[in-house]
Amino acid sequence: MDVMDRDHTLEFLNQHVKTDMLMKHLFTVEAAMRGYARKYSGDEELWAIAGLLHDFDWEICPTPESHPTFGADILREHGYPEDIIRAVLTHGEHTGIPRESLMEHTLFAVDELSGFIRAVTLVRPNKSLDDVTPRSVHRKLRDKNFAKDVNREDIIKGAEELGVDLGRAHQLHSGKHEADCRAHRPDCRQYGRGLIPRPIF
């Protein structure tokens, strides 16, 4: 089977991802990567698969420091292309591998920010992205006690690498993009009903 087929990748994820929380993160980043691929005329399926795979090894790594190198070796064994593997490797600052392609810069930029926006969404009264504003995200970014696990330095650096004004970096795509992303919702195991937020930026 073609490793770049999304259904194949979902089966691959089912073999390695253990929790709903991680799967939701992967789907969120996938949605963001689809939106950016459209914006920058990239290969949407390639960028989306990179988003789906970027953290797949997080729960199975022998040590946190071995992520994502540990996962990159598994991806090679399964025949994923090197541009996907490079994107996975370069989204981790500690690997020391410089980001080169636009896809690599984008994956790094959306990874931490997508998690942060989801955290902001979950504390809004309606838990809806429609309620998330630039002001609410900036306010939470300044609150060091909120979402402490999110690396704010990576969020800032990611926006800089894309040449995006952080003040507007988290603006969401239109409802059409949300509908498009929901059309890609998987039917795999218990993750089939997971919420997929709109792509960010």
Question: What digits encode the pLDDT tens for the residues 28-59?
Answer: 999 999 999 999 999 999 999 999 999 999 99
How many Cα atoms within 13 Å fall on the side-chain side of residue 75?
A: 27
Residue 50 is predicted with a pLDDT of 98
Q: What rounded mean pLDDT belongs to the chain?
A: 83
Domain count for the chain: 1
Q: Tell me whether residue 199 is in a domain.
A: no
Residue 19 is predicted with a pLDDT of 95
Q: Tell me whether residue 85 is in a domain.
A: yes
Q: Tell me whether residue 62 is in a domain.
A: yes
Q: For the chain of 201 residues, list the mean pLDDT of each consecutive stretch of 10.
A: 88 95 93 92 96 96 92 96 96 91 96 88 87 83 90 91 73 39 42 36 43
Q: Which domain holds residue 90?
A: 6-193
Residue 115 is predicted with a pLDDT of 86
Residue 17 is predicted with a pLDDT of 96
Residue 33 is predicted with a pLDDT of 93
Q: Tell me whether residue 200 is in a domain.
A: no
Report the CATH number at residue 176.
1.10.3210
Q: Tell me whether residue 34 is in a domain.
A: yes
Residue 199 is predicted with a pLDDT of 41
What b-and-e string marks burial along 17-56, b requiring 16 or more CB atoms within 10 Å of the CB?
beeeebbbbbbbbbbbbbbbbeeeebeeebbbbbbbbbbb
Question: What digits encode the pLDDT tens for the residues 80-91?
Answer: 999 999 999 999
Q: Tell me whether residue 169 is in a domain.
A: yes
Q: Tell me whether residue 1 is in a domain.
A: no
Residue 138 is predicted with a pLDDT of 83
Q: Are 152 and 117 in contact (CB under 8 A)?
A: no
Q: Are 40 and 57 in contact (CB under 8 A)?
A: no
Residue 191 is predicted with a pLDDT of 33
Q: Tell me whether residue 30 is in a domain.
A: yes
